Chain A
Amino acid sequence: MGLKNFEGADEEFNLEQMEAETEAMLRLRYLNAENATFARTPGGFVSLDIVGEADAVSPEHYDRVRVVRSFPFTAPDTYISISTTEEKSKEIGIIKDITKDVSKETRKMLEEQMNLRYFTPIITKINDIKEEYGHAYWDVDTNEGPCRFVIYMNSSSVVSLSDVRLMVTDLDGNRFEIPDYTRLSAGELKKLDLFL
Chain B
Amino acid sequence: MKNKKREISEENIKKSGKLPQEIGAELKSRGITEADIYVSVRTDMDLNCDFTPGWLILTKGKKLISATADPLSGEIHFFKGMETRKSRTVARDRKWNFAEFDVSDLKNAYVERSVSGGFLILVHKDVNDPEAEGLAETAAAVSNHCMSGATKIERLCEKIIDGKEIDEEALEDDEEEEFCPVCGMMYPDSDRKVCPKCMNKKSIFRRTLGYLKPYKWRILVMFLCYLATAALNIIWPYLNGVVLYDRVLGKDEKFLSFLSVESNRFAVILLLIVLTMVMTKITMQLVGILQGVMTAKIVPRVVKSMRNDVFGAMGKLSINFFTSKQTGSLMTRVMSDSDEVSGFFIDGLPYFLINVFSIIAMAVVMFRLSWPLAIVALMFMPITFLVSWFMLPRLWHRYGRRHRATRSLNSKIHDNLSGARVVKAFGQEGSEVRRFDKSNEKVRSADLAVMNYDNKFSALYSAAENLASLMVYIVGAYLILIQKRFDYPILITFAGYVGQMTGPMDFMSFFFRWFTNCMNSAQRMFEIIDAVPEIQEKENAISLEQIEGTVEMKNVTFGYEKNKPVLKNINLKVEGGHMLGIVGRSGAGKTTIVNLISRLYDPQEGTVTLDGVNLKDLSFKTLRGNVAMVSQETYMFMGTVAENIAYARKDASRAEIIRAAVLASAHDFICRMPDGYDTIIGSSGRDLSGGERQRISIARAILANPKILILDEATAAVDTETEQAIQQSINMLIKGRTTISIAHRLSTLRDADSLIVIDEGKIAEQGTHEELLKQKGVYYKLKELQTKALALKGIE
Q: Is B18 an interface residue (CB 8 A)?
A: no
What's the Cα separation between A135 and B196 when bound, in Å?
A: 10
Instruction: Please tell me if the beta carbons of A194 and B80 are within 8 angstroms of each other in the complex.
Output: no
What's the Cα separation between A122 and B639 when bound, in Å?
A: 55
Q: Of residues B135, B141, B747, B786, which shows the largest number of chain A Cβ atoms within 10 Å of its Cβ?
A: B135
Instruction: Please tell me if the beta carbons of B397 and A194 are within 8 angstroms of each other in the complex.
Output: yes
Known: A117-B115, A144-B51. A4 touches B787 (CB 8 A): yes
Q: Is B562 an interface residue (CB 8 A)?
A: no
Give residues of chain B (3-60) contacting chain A, Cβ–Cβ below 8 Å: 47, 49-51
Q: Is B520 an interface residue (CB 8 A)?
A: yes
* Residues of B close to A155: CB separation below 8 A: 404, 408
* Residues of B close to A44: CB separation below 8 A: 47, 137-138
Query: Which one of A2, A144, A173 contacts B747 once the chains associate, using CB atoms below 8 Å?
Result: A2
* Residues of B close to A146: CB separation below 8 A: 74-77
Q: Is B419 an interface residue (CB 8 A)?
A: no
Give residues of chain B (126-182) contacting chain A, Cβ–Cβ below 8 Å: 134-138, 141, 143-145, 147
Instruction: Please tell me if the beta carbons of A147 and B76 are within 8 angstroms of each other in the complex.
Output: yes
CB distance from A152 to the nearest CB of B (A): 8
Give residues of chain A (103-128) contacting chain B, Cβ–Cβ below 8 Å: 115-120
Instruction: Please tell me if the beta carbons of B79 and A174 are within 8 angstroms of each other in the complex.
Output: yes
CB distance from B36 to the nearest CB of A (A): 27
Interface-facing stretch out of B265-273, B357-365, B377-385, B768-776: B768-776
Q: Which of chain B's residues has its CB closest to A121's CB?
A: B51
User: Interface code B494-525, partner A: CB below 8 Å = 1, 0 otherwise?
Assistant: 00000000000000000000000000100000
What's the Cα separation between A85 and B134 when bound, in Å?
A: 12
What's the Cα separation between A41 and B114 when bound, in Å?
A: 20
Query: Which one of A64, A137, A149, A194 contacts B136 once the chains associate, using CB atoms below 8 Å?
Result: A64
* Residues of A close to B773: CB separation below 8 A: 6, 8-9
Q: Is A42 an interface residue (CB 8 A)?
A: yes
What's the Cα separation between A9 and B769 when bound, in Å?
A: 13
* Residues of B close to A137: CB separation below 8 A: 81-82
Q: How many residues on the A side are at the interface (Cβ–Cβ under 8 A)?
A: 50
Q: Which of chain A's residues has its CB closest to B190's CB?
A: A171
Summarize B's interface: helix, strand, loop or mixed: mixed
User: Interface code A164-196, partner B: CB below 8 Å = 1, 0 otherwise?
Assistant: 000001111111000000000000000001100
Q: Which of chain B's residues has its CB closest to A12's CB?
A: B776
Known: A9-B780, A13-B788, A15-B789. A116 touches B77 (CB 8 A): no
Give residues of chain B (695-747) contacting chain A, Cβ–Cβ below 8 Å: 746-747
What's the Cα separation between A174 and B141 when bound, in Å?
A: 13
Q: Is A43 an interface residue (CB 8 A)?
A: yes
Instruction: Please tell me if the beta carbons of A172 and B143 are within 8 angstroms of each other in the complex.
Output: yes
What's the Cα separation between A147 and B769 when bound, in Å?
A: 59
Known: A15-B792, A137-B82, A148-B82. A120 touches B116 (CB 8 A): yes
Q: Is B73 an interface residue (CB 8 A)?
A: yes
Q: Which of chain B's residues has its CB closest to A69's CB?
A: B115
Q: Is B351 an interface residue (CB 8 A)?
A: no
Instruction: Please tell me if the beta carbons of B787 and A144 are within 8 angstroms of each other in the complex.
Output: no
What's the Cα separation between A172 and B148 when bound, in Å?
A: 10
Query: Which one of B136, B400, B404 contacts A43 once the chains associate, using CB atoms below 8 Å?
Result: B136
Q: Is A45 an interface residue (CB 8 A)?
A: yes
Known: A64-B136, A144-B50, A148-B77. A10 touches B788 (CB 8 A): yes
What is the total of A-B residue contacts with beta carbons within 8 Å? 148
What's the Cα separation between A44 and B48 when bound, in Å?
A: 11
CB distance from B188 to the nearest CB of A (A): 5
* Residues of A close to B114: CB separation below 8 A: 116-119
Query: Which one of B71, B76, B138, B145 contacts A174 once the chains associate, using CB atoms below 8 Å?
Result: B145
Give residues of chain B (80-134) contacting chain A, Cβ–Cβ below 8 Å: 80-82, 112, 114-117, 119, 134
Known: A63-B136, A116-B114, A119-B114. A172 touches B79 (CB 8 A): yes
Q: Which of chain B's residues has its CB closest to A131's CB?
A: B397
Instruction: Please tell me if the beta carbons of B135 and A171 are within 8 angstroms of each other in the complex.
Output: no
CB distance from A119 to the nearest CB of B (A): 4
* Residues of B close to A174: CB separation below 8 A: 79, 116-117, 143-145
CB distance from A115 to the nearest CB of B (A): 8
Q: Which of chain A's residues has its CB closest to B745's CB?
A: A1
What's the Cα separation between A43 and B138 when bound, in Å?
A: 7
Q: Is B554 an interface residue (CB 8 A)?
A: no
What's the Cα separation between A175 and B144 when bound, in Å?
A: 9
Instruction: Please tell me if the beta carbons of B143 and A9 are within 8 angstroms of each other in the complex.
Output: no
What's the Cα separation between A3 and B136 when bound, in Å?
A: 45
Instruction: Please tell me if the beta carbons of A135 and B80 are within 8 angstroms of each other in the complex.
Output: no
Q: Is A23 an interface residue (CB 8 A)?
A: no
Q: Is B62 an interface residue (CB 8 A)?
A: no
Instruction: Please tell me if the beta carbons of A172 and B74 are within 8 angstroms of each other in the complex.
Output: no
Q: Of residues A132, A150, A155, A169, which shows the largest number of chain B Cβ atoms within 10 Å of its Cβ?
A: A150
Instruction: Please tell me if the beta carbons of B115 and A171 are within 8 angstroms of each other in the complex.
Output: no
CB distance from A171 to the nearest CB of B (A): 4
* Residues of B close to A148: CB separation below 8 A: 76-79, 82
Q: Which of chain B's residues has its CB closest to A150's CB?
A: B81
Query: Which one of B81, B119, B408, B784 contacts A171 once the chains associate, using CB atoms below 8 Å?
Result: B81
CB distance from B621 to the nearest CB of A (A): 38
* Residues of B close to A115: CB separation below 8 A: 49
Q: Is B401 an interface residue (CB 8 A)?
A: yes
Q: Is B201 an interface residue (CB 8 A)?
A: no
Q: Is A59 an interface residue (CB 8 A)?
A: no
Known: A148-B76, A174-B117. A43 touches B135 (CB 8 A): yes
Give residues of chain B (399-458) contacting chain A, Cβ–Cβ below 8 Å: 400-401, 404, 408
Instruction: Please tell me if the beta carbons of A171 and B79 are within 8 angstroms of each other in the complex.
Output: yes
Instruction: Please tell me if the beta carbons of A119 and B115 are within 8 angstroms of each other in the complex.
Output: yes
Instruction: Please tell me if the beta carbons of A147 and B750 are within 8 angstroms of each other in the complex.
Output: no
What's the Cα separation between A129 and B730 when bound, in Å?
A: 60
What's the Cα separation between A10 and B780 when bound, in Å?
A: 11
CB distance from B108 to the nearest CB of A (A): 10
Instruction: Please tell me if the beta carbons of A145 and B520 are within 8 angstroms of each other in the complex.
Output: no
What's the Cα separation between A18 and B793 when bound, in Å?
A: 14
Give residues of chain A (35-85) contacting chain B, Cβ–Cβ below 8 Å: 41-45, 63-64, 66, 72, 85
Q: Is B568 an interface residue (CB 8 A)?
A: no
Q: Is B783 an interface residue (CB 8 A)?
A: yes
CB distance from B579 to the nearest CB of A (A): 13
Query: Which one of B73, B77, B747, B792 contacts A1 once the chains associate, using CB atoms below 8 Å?
Result: B747
Instruction: Please tell me if the beta carbons of B784 and A2 are within 8 angstroms of each other in the complex.
Output: no
Instruction: Please tell me if the beta carbons of B188 and A135 are within 8 angstroms of each other in the complex.
Output: yes
What's the Cα separation between A195 and B523 when bound, in Å?
A: 27
Known: A6-B769, A45-B136. A133 touches B520 (CB 8 A): yes
Instruction: Please tell me if the beta carbons of B144 and A173 are within 8 angstroms of each other in the complex.
Output: yes
* Residues of A close to B789: CB separation below 8 A: 15, 18
* Residues of A close to B196: CB separation below 8 A: 132-133, 135
What's the Cα separation between A4 and B82 when bound, in Å?
A: 64
Instruction: Please tell me if the beta carbons of A3 and B75 are within 8 angstroms of each other in the complex.
Output: no
What's the Cα separation between A42 and B137 when bound, in Å?
A: 8
What's the Cα separation between A139 and B623 when bound, in Å?
A: 52
CB distance from A129 to the nearest CB of B (A): 12
Known: A132-B196, A155-B404, A172-B147. A149 touches B81 (CB 8 A): yes
Query: Which one of B74, B82, B401, B404 contacts A149 once the chains associate, using CB atoms below 8 Å?
Result: B82
What's the Cα separation between A188 and B792 when bound, in Å?
A: 68
Instruction: Please tell me if the beta carbons of A15 and B788 are within 8 angstroms of each other in the complex.
Output: yes
What's the Cα separation between A63 and B135 when bound, in Å?
A: 8
* Residues of A close to B138: CB separation below 8 A: 43-44
A-B contact pairs, 26 of them (CB 8 A): A1-B750, A1-B787, A3-B746, A6-B783, A8-B773, A12-B776, A13-B788, A18-B789, A43-B138, A63-B135, A64-B136, A116-B141, A119-B114, A133-B520, A145-B75, A147-B77, A148-B76, A148-B82, A149-B80, A150-B80, A150-B81, A170-B79, A170-B80, A171-B188, A174-B79, A175-B116
Other A-B contacts than A6-B783, A115-B49, A150-B81, 16 sampled, CB-CB below 8 A, are A3-B747, A7-B788, A15-B792, A43-B135, A44-B137, A116-B49, A116-B114, A119-B115, A137-B82, A144-B77, A146-B74, A149-B80, A172-B80, A172-B144, A193-B397, A194-B400
Closest 4 CB pairs of A and B: A150-B81, A2-B750, A43-B137, A149-B79
